[in-house]
Amino acid sequence: MTGFFTLFYKELLRFWKVGFQTILAPMVSTLLYLLVFFHVLEAHVEVYPDIAYTHFLIPGLVMMAIIQNAFANSSSSMIQSKISGNIVFILLSPLSYHTIFLAYVLASVVRGILVGLGVYIVTWVFFDIPLQLPIWSIIFVLLGSGILAVLGLIAGIWADKFDQLAAFQNFIIMPLTFLSGVFYTIHSLPSGWQYLSHLNPFFYMIDGFRYGFLGVSDISPYISLLIVASCLMIISMLAIRMLRTGYKLRH
């Protein structure tokens, strides 16, 4: 247990010591999104009857901030350690691969939540966003940030260089995030796009999270929960397997 808590604590310190970049900066950029979209779309878009666009948008943006930062944390921590070589201190230690996995993922989940919470608190001052079924939101925050933290770990282990990591982020994570219904409901899309959106696991995270706020969603939250939890399980197994076999870490 000491081993786990130490690595977890080290991973927390790692981003906390540069909190300006890792927490404040992403909060600011999320709030900028909010400002722009609110200004442009508030008057024109009705996503659900009787629900203001901001009430729809803000949970989406909060979730987007959470998952992006969960990904950013584990991926950058892993690739920095690999490239600077100090990953050896973890590899030389008796920490089990389950421990390494859990510490990296949970620290990244914490970062995601801190950013998301920060954004939520700031918006809460200006817009009164109801949180009707908080337990659903919490479940989806944990699962969604968990998925992205695991993906970040996988990407960080896989990438040999920073530009490979950037490619992973730009060609996989970003499109999946932006096409997941942060800014719109998929019911507003042509049916082909709706179908494609259903293949995007990020869509279920955001939809489920938003259900906790609004009490309405595109898809039953139980189905979203099933899909998101299965995704987390599958990619966790993949990441643990990579750590166990030493893929790209132990030559």
Partner 1 sequence: MLPALEVQHVSKHFGQIHALADVSLSIYPGEFFALLGPNGAGKTTLINIIAGLSLADNGVVQVMGHDVLSDYQQARLNLGIVPQELVFDPFFTVREILLIQSGYYGLRNNGRWVDEIIERLDLSDKAHANMRALSGGMKRRVLVAQALVHKPPVIILDEPTAGVDVELRQTLWEFIKQLNRDGHTIVLTTHYLEEAETLCNRVAMLKQGRIVALDNTHNLIGQMTAGNSLRLRLSPDTLPEGLQDRLSKHEDGIHELRIDHYVHIESVLAALRAANIEIVEMHLQQPDLEDVFINIMKNNNLTK
Closest to partner 1 by CB, 15 vs 204, is 15
Tell which one of 93, 132, 164, 230 touches partner 1 (CB under 8 A). 93
Burial of 163 (0-12, 13-18, 19+ CB in 10 A): exposed
Q: Does 106 bind partner 1 (CB under 8 A)?
A: no
- d(CA 249, CA 251) in angstroms, rounded, equals 6
Q: How far is the CB of 182 from partner 1 (least distance, A)?
A: 32
Q: How far is the CB of 30 from partner 1 (least distance, A)?
A: 25
- d(CA 21, CA 29) in angstroms, rounded, equals 11
Q: How far is the CB of 18 from partner 1 (least distance, A)?
A: 8
Tell which one of 72, 90, 143, 151 touches partner 1 (CB under 8 A). 90
**Number of CB atoms found within 10 A of residue 108's CB:** 31
Q: How far is the CB of 12 from partner 1 (least distance, A)?
A: 11
Determine the interface stretch with partner 1 among 81-89, 135-143, 155-163, 191-199 (rule: CB under 8 A). 81-89
Q: Does 2 bind partner 1 (CB under 8 A)?
A: yes
Q: How far is the CB of 243 from partner 1 (least distance, A)?
A: 12
- d(CA 35, CA 29) in angstroms, rounded, equals 10
Q: Does 190 bind partner 1 (CB under 8 A)?
A: no
Burial of 76 (0-12, 13-18, 19+ CB in 10 A): buried
Tell which one of 21, 43, 94, 125 touches partner 1 (CB under 8 A). 94
Q: Does 19 bind partner 1 (CB under 8 A)?
A: no
- Please give the structure tokens belonging to residue 71: 């990904």
Closest to partner 1 by CB, 14 vs 198, is 14
Q: Which residues contact 48 (CB under 8 A, 6 or more apart)?
A: 56, 185, 214, 216
Closest to partner 1 by CB, 16 vs 33, is 16
Q: Which residues contact 206 (CB under 8 A, 6 or more apart)?
A: 59, 60, 63, 64, 144, 180, 181, 182
Q: Does 21 bind partner 1 (CB under 8 A)?
A: no
Q: Does 14 bind partner 1 (CB under 8 A)?
A: yes
Q: Does 13 bind partner 1 (CB under 8 A)?
A: yes
Q: Does 92 bind partner 1 (CB under 8 A)?
A: yes
Strand, helix or coil for residue 199 = coil
How is the chain split among helix, strand and coil, in percent rounded to 5?
80, 0, 20
Q: Does 5 bind partner 1 (CB under 8 A)?
A: yes
